[in-house]
Amino acid sequence: MVAIIGARFWPPIKRHALTPKERLSFENALKPQKGADLEVQIACPQNDEKACTYAGQFINLFGESGWNVEPYVTRTTLTRAPDGISIYRRAGNRDYSMKHWDAGGYLSINEPHLLAVQGAFQAIHVEPESGTNPDLPDNVMAIYFGPEKENEAEPTNLTRNTEWVTGKRKGPFPTQHQ
């Protein structure tokens, strides 16, 4: 009973320097997939030192897990910058999306690389979101560390969708929640 009440009302974990146990959990979730055929880019908002510092610690974790990761954090400006952590892959049509506010692309949510990275973040109690970027090369995964969300362990659309695709969630395909 105490565990149920604690899980519901306990304050969420805030961003921090990962402990050795968290680092190991993150790396162990990545290692089985191996991402050598994919380049990982770590990005953060241009003027958010806290988000960029937090993001920087993940470069070593990807590298030590055998993934091909850029050795620096890219400071960037996104058209629609989200809070929290978002994983981006190539999809969509750039020309179309520049003319339509509601344009997007379809992300393969059962892609092994995406599932491995999502699982690594879940191993440290962070639920990432996903997005598409028509400007990314096919062999690139960008991970954007936006401003911290109130509760980064709260399930995202990516969480619900991959749970459905992998059979952990039953019923019709989940609808998008904001």
3-class DSSP assignment, residue 18: coil
Asked whether residue 79 is assigned to any structural domain, the reply reads: yes
Adjacency order of strands within the sheet including 129-132: 68-76, 39-45, 140-145, 85-89, 129-132
Residue 9: the pLDDT is 56
Asked whether residue 71 is assigned to any structural domain, the reply reads: yes
Asked whether residue 7 is assigned to any structural domain, the reply reads: no
Asked whether residue 172 is assigned to any structural domain, the reply reads: no
Residue 131: the pLDDT is 86
- Paired tokens of 130: 């996903």
Rounded CA-CA distance 24/173 in Å is 33
pLDDT digits (tens, 9 = 90+) for 45-63: 999 999 999 999 999 999 9
Residue 70: the pLDDT is 97
pLDDT digits (tens, 9 = 90+) for 85-102: 999 988 644 454 455 445
Residue 106: the pLDDT is 54
- Paired tokens of 131: 């997005």
Asked whether residue 159 is assigned to any structural domain, the reply reads: yes
Flag residues of the chain having pLDDT under 50: 1-3, 92-94, 96-97, 100-101, 105, 178
Total count of domains within the chain: 1
Residue 178: the pLDDT is 45
Asked whether residue 105 is assigned to any structural domain, the reply reads: yes
Asked whether residue 43 is assigned to any structural domain, the reply reads: yes
Number of H helices, E strands in the chain: 6, 5
Asked whether residue 8 is assigned to any structural domain, the reply reads: no
- Residue 34's domain comprises 17-165
